[in-house]
Amino acid sequence: MNQWLIASNNAFKTQDLIDCLRIAGLQAVPYTTVVPKLIFPAETTTGYCENALLKARFLAAFTDQGVIADDSGLEVAALADQLGVTTKRDLQANRQLSPNQAILAALAGETDRQALMMSTLVAIVPNQAPFIATGQVGGTITEASRGDQSSGFDRIFQPTGLTQTLAELPDYQRLPMTHRGRAAADLVAQLKGADVL
């Protein structure tokens, strides 16, 4: 497989994953470069792997190229009953605030700001079992948004051991340490080990 398709209609996620996979040694493009825009099935609340499998299998039915899907989320210790696999849906429920504003508001006055960014990638190639890779990065939620090198949660997430948020780091430093960057490295290693790449 020389070129893989990303199974997502989220432009930010697609580009972030393409960049992470490129660093890991794999070329990928938005699926819409070869397939008309699709409406993916609704995600479950079961787990990251199930959601990524659902998206990957759905797109694989429309192409014979290799496909890669991601499901990811933010897990915050103080908000244990929220976010995680339903991160996007939980934050979309509050349309008065941006996702980052909603998280910062929910943590106002909270001393435990520990968090994990999680990613599961599923790759499907014809006539093989799915490849499943995971990645995570631990850190804390900052008290204010910082950085313009990236967007989304990267602006409020400070990895353990660093004084900068992910969005304050240049791509060459940020991407390999992110949840998707680590999952991408895991996935590419598996694909190489199976002689798919």
Phi, psi angle pair for 69, to nearest 5°: -125, 150
Determine the length of the chain: 197
Asked if residue 68 lies in contact with residue 17, where contact means CB atoms within 8 angstroms, the answer is yes
For residue 154, indicate whether it is catalytic. Answer: no
Closest CA to 19 of 193, 192, 185: 185
**Which helix H or strand E contains 180, and what residues bound it?**
helix 179-193
Distance, CA of 163 to CA of 69 (rounded, Å): 31
DSSP of 111-167: S--EEEEEEEEEEE-TTSPPEEEEEEEEEEE-SS---SSS-GGGGTEEETT-SS-GG
Query: Looking at 16, 19, 70, 71, which residue is catalytic?
Result: 71
- State the catalytic residues: 71
